[in-house]
């Protein structure tokens, strides 16, 4: 069983990585568009791909913040649907899981 401190350290490290990623993406998107029209099209496509990555990162950040709040509240690792403890193997694989494996299946993820 990992200690709450170990889980928190892991989550905070992930948060720092994701935060840096979002920052880099936003920096890349602030770069002025190239004068050349075909270059602009490529840049826009890149921006759209980056938007997807950024959205995913922002969603992860929200999930990690929730997990950290649960650690603070002492409810980390409890299923939000049925209140049972989430299996440790599941939390190891997915530290931000909010549902036990049974409820996750019921909710389709």
| Site for Zn ion, rule CB under 5 A | 79, 81-82, 100, 103
Residue 94 vs 103, nearer CB to Zn ion: 103
Residue 55 vs 105, nearer CB to Zn ion: 105
Distance of closest approach, residue 102 Cβ to Zn ion, in angstroms? 5
Distance of closest approach, residue 107 Cβ to Zn ion, in angstroms? 9
Q: Which residues pair with 78 in a beta bridge?
A: 85
The pair of three-digit structure tokens given for residue 30, joined into one six-digit string: 């602030």
Distance of closest approach, residue 82 Cβ to Zn ion, in angstroms? 3
Residue 16 vs 82, nearer CB to Zn ion: 82
Distances (CA, A) of 76 to 32, 66, 99, 100: 43, 9, 11, 12
Q: Secondary structure of 24-51 in the HEC alphabet? A: HHHHHHHCCCCCCHHHHHHHHHHHHHHH
């Amino acid at each position: 069983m990992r200690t709450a401190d170990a889980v928190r350290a892991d989550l905070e490290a992930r948060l720092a990585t994701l935060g840096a990623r979002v920052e880099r993406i936003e920096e890349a998107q602030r770069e002025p568009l190239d004068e050349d029209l075909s270059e602009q099209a490529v840049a826009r496509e890149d921006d759209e791909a980056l938007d997807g990555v950024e959205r995913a990162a922002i969603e992860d950040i929200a999930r990690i913040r929730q997990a950290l709040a649960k650690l603070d509240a002492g409810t980390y690792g409890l299923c939000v649907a049925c209140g049972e403890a989430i299996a440790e193997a599941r939390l190891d694989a997915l530290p931000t899981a909010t549902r036990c494996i049974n409820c996750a299946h019921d909710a389709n993820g």
